[in-house]
Amino acid sequence: MSSQAGHHGGVRVLVVEDQQLLANRIADGLRDEGMAVDVAYDGEQAMEITAFTRYDVVVLDRDLPLVHGDAVCASLVASPAGARVLMLTAAAAVGDRVAGLNLGADDYLAKPFAFAELVARVRSLARRSPAAAPVIARGDIVLDRARRRVSRAGRPVPLNRKELGVLEELLIADGGIRSAEDLFERVWDESTDLFSRTVTVTIARLRRKLGEPDPIETVIGVGYRLS
């Protein structure tokens, strides 16, 4: 296992999954997508590898032998390397998912999952990894993530934290659709009332501030995307 600290423009992923067949299938699929992938089949191995090698994203199964996925997740979150964690959980139970997110996982996916969905989540997290681009742009909208500043066609757009968070997620999705629930999970904390029309209200304010032509498209019954 080589410890390459440097980034070569590619996305580095560690897949931690004790079902070897599944682990290898995921790894091969991600390699086909042009990513550099290493595999660990238990939590102990995962801890050893991540101590020496930097990854953009760690795809982490929750029920691991030797060291539980939760402990691996906690250690990754505490480490300064800042890998993004996508937790795989066998139970689709909301309790499990909340526990995973409370441990600091960046995203979670319930098994069985569609491979295309896994790829999309990994790509999205890779863009958010510390090695990711400090500036994201789509069309004439530019977000400087380091300074938390937004401009459109060169004109500064003052946004509050939630508006900025929503815009960032839409920019990261890169033309893909984000559901209101998705946006809510990524931008708001647990204590917010899920039933308030928070996302809708924030999107409306964001649209107003970004001005014409309206860059945010509502996909009825599905979510939002940047056109």
104 CB-near residues (< 8 Å, 6+ apart): 73, 74, 76, 77, 85
- pTM as predicted: 0.55
pLDDT digits (tens, 9 = 90+) for 64-121: 999 999 889 988 887 766 789 999 987 655 566 566 556 778 888 888 889 999 999 9
Alpha helices in 53-160, H assignment, sequence order: 69-78, 94-102, 115-128
Q: What is the mean pLDDT of residues 40-68?
A: 91
Helices 20-32 and 115-128: angle between axes, nearest 10 degrees: 60
Residues paired with residue 84 on neighbouring β-strands, in sequence order = 57
Per-residue pLDDT at 90: 77
- 3-class DSSP state of 160: coil
Element (H, E) at 155: strand 155-156
Structure tokens at 93: 């139970």
Domain ranges, ordered by start, for the chain: 12-128, 135-226
Residue 194's pLDDT band (cuts 50, 70, 90): low
Q: Is domain 12-128 classified as CATH 2.40.50.140?
A: no
Q: Which CATH class is domain 135-226?
A: mainly alpha
Question: Is 208 a residue whose pLDDT tops 90?
Answer: yes
